[in-house]
Amino acid sequence: MTQESQPPRQYAVWAPGARTVEVVVGHSDRAHGDPAVDRHRARPMVPGGRPGWWVAPIEPGDDGRYAFRLDGGDPRPDPRSLSQPDGVHGPSALVDRTAYDWGDAGWAGAGLEGAVLYELHIGTFTPQGTLAAATARLDHLVALGVTMISLMPVAAFPGRHGWGYDGVALFAVHEPYGGARGLQEFVDACHRRGLAVCLDVVYNHLGPSGNYLGQFGPYFTDRHHTPWGDAVNLDGPGSDEVRRFLLDNVRMWLEDFHLDGLRLDAVHALHDQRAEHLLESVAVVADEVAERTGRPRSLIAESDRNDPATVSPRGPGGAGGLGLTGQWADDIHHALHVALTGETQGYYGDFADPGALGKVLTRTPFFHDGTYSSFRGRSHGRPVDLATTPPWRFVASLQTHDQVGNRATGDRLCHGLTPGQSAIGAALLLTAPYTPMLFMGEEWGAGTPWQFFTDHSEPELVEGIRTGRAREFAEHGWSATVPDPQDERTVAASRLDWAEPAVEPHASLLEWHRTLLRLRRELPDLLATPLTDGHLARSGDVLVLTRGAVHVVANLADTDARVAAPAEPRTRHTAAEFGGVRVEGDVVHLPGHSVVVLADGWAPSRAARTVEA
């Protein structure tokens, strides 16, 4: 495939080490319904364009299916394939990305500042597991108050279902989801409803099944390693074309699919020793697309380094940071999780520190900002300068696909909490000045788990995944049976149940999240108050979090509590409460696991919401 954003005119592939390259094509006179490439319809390719590239014209009669054969070997899919209709091991299919008639001309775009993210996995968001089915649920997200969907990877991966982080055809949209056309229609539908879309992309490694890139060129290197497989060659011989491959992929998503941003998976595993790191180059491409289209493009990094330079502005001559828009801040999740659950195993141990919750809610997104991490056995992170990297650049959450799916049984946070405890967690998250992110179903306390599932066809790979996960969890003291990733029942159990939001206690939690997101828009002090001007006071199990004239009062205990009411009764309003909280004069009466949001001097646009547990 050509790499330009235009209808395909020729077959093209980078194979610098090959002596001969053929394109094996399908013809319209093949037997109807036969998905296989006809091996006898091979045409030689010739060198063309940049060094190492081979080209051949698309001829009349070609039916769109094709593969490449290097030095007489087996036909392989196009590394830049835009469609894998028969799976990642089959032939590629031609796609005209420009053929779609977009209807989002009125969409001005949306940046990360002020956004509310919603992490969504297409395969389990609906029973059908398609982009079209997800489109039918978009009005739910609009009513909730979400502004940007964080779409988990859709690049083609092995089998029918999986998380998507083992993708191997980075330019092709997973066919069971709806393919390239399905993604364009989904993004278009989101924009017409005022929803931005950010896509999760994985550039640090490729999956083990259907990964033929190494047969074409030096896409991988043994100089670096990742926990998930061979590292991508970003700085060794031949890496100029590898980087161009990735940057063209970035440009394709942002231009041809009108995506508003990309979430970059595990950027700490992008091993790049060049003066200009790949992430800087990605940021330059995103800025160019934004300037050309007049719509902002956001780049959100997942990084384990606790390094604010990831989102610090770029400066001239390589000075400054990497210039990405935002990054996940897992320390906020960890502190909230420990406060709500009391779990302290593994990396949660450091967050049992009594000051952990107050630090991440009122001082810095990084609890480890140069402090000692017992889990790592060393100091970790460095301080954040909030003047150059404001809180909205840090994405905060109570749950993510990682924090749920990487638990042995895929149990959600709410599965170990009462509705009131879940409501407290939501209040602490959604009143913070960070960019909040909800994981699909979190808004109603979904009863379904979200487990690890795969659909590989290689027996040795299947067995390795099964035994590896079981061994890993056994080493961490987990005695229960770990769900089989290959079992159809595992993915079936992970699909959201859309009947739940209409019944209790789910309906009350859904209304609570809607209310909190409305208050986030209506109470300026929640976002305008500098993070360090906030204050968290704790007396036993009662928390009082203050941001300007807004106060969140919560009771983490299962027994009743009383606390002095903040603010004067004559100017104080109850903006929202969950669990039967009563405010009488100077006293707040808090049943077990309850929470109230009080606003001083605020005139509500409508009656304050009361949500019963």
Contact criterion met (CB below 8 Å) for 469 and 428: no
Calpha distance 173→232 (Å, rounded):
21
If we measure between CA atoms, which residue out of 64, 12, 15 comes closest to residue 41? Answer: 64
Q: Is 449 helix (H, G, I), strand (E, B) or coil?
A: coil
Calpha distance 458→162 (Å, rounded):
15
Calpha distance 124→42 (Å, rounded):
40
Please, what is the end-to-end C-alpha distance for the chain in angstroms? 56
Q: Is the N-terminal amide bond of 153 cis, ω within 30° of 0?
A: no
302 included as an active-site residue: yes
CA 361, chain centre distance (Å): 22
Contact criterion met (CB below 8 Å) for 45 and 23: yes
Q: Is 142 helix (H, G, I), strand (E, B) or coil?
A: helix
How do the residues of the chain divide into helix, strand and coil, expressed in percent and rounded to 5? Answer: 30, 25, 45
Per-residue CA distances from 513 to 428, 527, 594 (Å): 11, 17, 14
The pair of structure tokens assigned to 61 is 């009669």
CA 71, chain centre distance (Å): 40
According to DSSP, the residues that pair with 430 across neighbouring strands are: none
DSSP state of 389: S
Q: Is 150 helix (H, G, I), strand (E, B) or coil?
A: strand
The residue whose two tokens read 């056309």 is 181
Q: Which residue in the list 38, 302, 330, 484 is annotated as catalytic?
A: 302
Contact criterion met (CB below 8 Å) for 452 and 469: yes
Q: Which residue in the list 22, 175, 235, 265 is annotated as catalytic?
A: 265
Q: Is the N-terminal amide bond of 505 cis, ω within 30° of 0?
A: yes
If we measure between CA atoms, which residue out of 425, 353, 434 comes closest to residue 390? Answer: 434
460 included as an active-site residue: no
According to DSSP, the residues that pair with 537 across neighbouring strands are: 544
Q: Is 9 helix (H, G, I), strand (E, B) or coil?
A: coil
Neighbours of 471 (CB within 10 A): 10
Contact criterion met (CB below 8 Å) for 592 and 554: no
The residue type found at 192 is: R
**Residue-wise DSSP of 224-242:** EEETTEEEE-SSSTTHHHH
- Residues with catalytic roles: 265, 302
